[in-house]
Amino acid sequence: ILVTVFIAGFGTFCNMLATCLTAYPLAKKRMRGRRVLLFLVLFTMLFSGGMIPTFLVVKMLGLYNSIFALIVPSLISAFNLIVMTNFFAQLPEELEESAKMDGANDLMVWIRIALPLSLPAIATFSLFYAVNNWNTFFSAILYLDDAKKWPIQVLLRQVVILSSGSVG
């Protein structure tokens, strides 16, 4: 259970941090290459790389048989990133301008203004990411050989198979 709680807790934190850190700059109209990056995000949402290339990337990064293999490949959801980008884009630019007049830099504007105003969206996507991380099953079967690192869903599958008497 501790492995699953770690994956759900730490994974959700990493998911939200990566999503917010990526969505905020993409929401700024003055950013160069913004449209190209948003197109690439949309493209990955429509056409994924597939199971074998993802497995090869996980193996080459040295994440195979590591708990982080369940967190890193699914770090950012393209759909959540697009919605969060649109949320940040709806924030009034006057708030950022007034904070910069008071001496705040971009990081302080993000921490003190954008994040507090986006708490409802952050809470919603945190819930989505937490449920997704808690239900990690298929990637755990693909990337983890050590039974001590299996999340509870894989262990429950083993219990069901052993209790039914069939070999799965």
Of 55-64, 115-124, 155-164, least confident by mean pLDDT is 155-164
- Average pLDDT of the chain? 92
pLDDT, residue 162, reads 86
Assess whether pLDDT exceeds 60 at residue 158: yes
Q: What is the DSSP letter of 114?
A: I
For residue 93, CA distances in Å to 28, 59, 86, 98, 137 come to 9, 43, 14, 9, 42
Residue 11: pLDDT above 90? yes
> Could you give the CA distance from residue 163 to residue 166 in angstroms, rounded to a whole number?
8
Given a cut of 60, is residue 168 above it in pLDDT? no
pLDDT value of residue 164: 84
Q: Is the pLDDT of residue 167 over 80?
A: no
The pTM is what? 0.87
Write the CA distances from 141 to 48, 78, 117, 132, 168, integer angstroms.
19, 23, 39, 15, 13
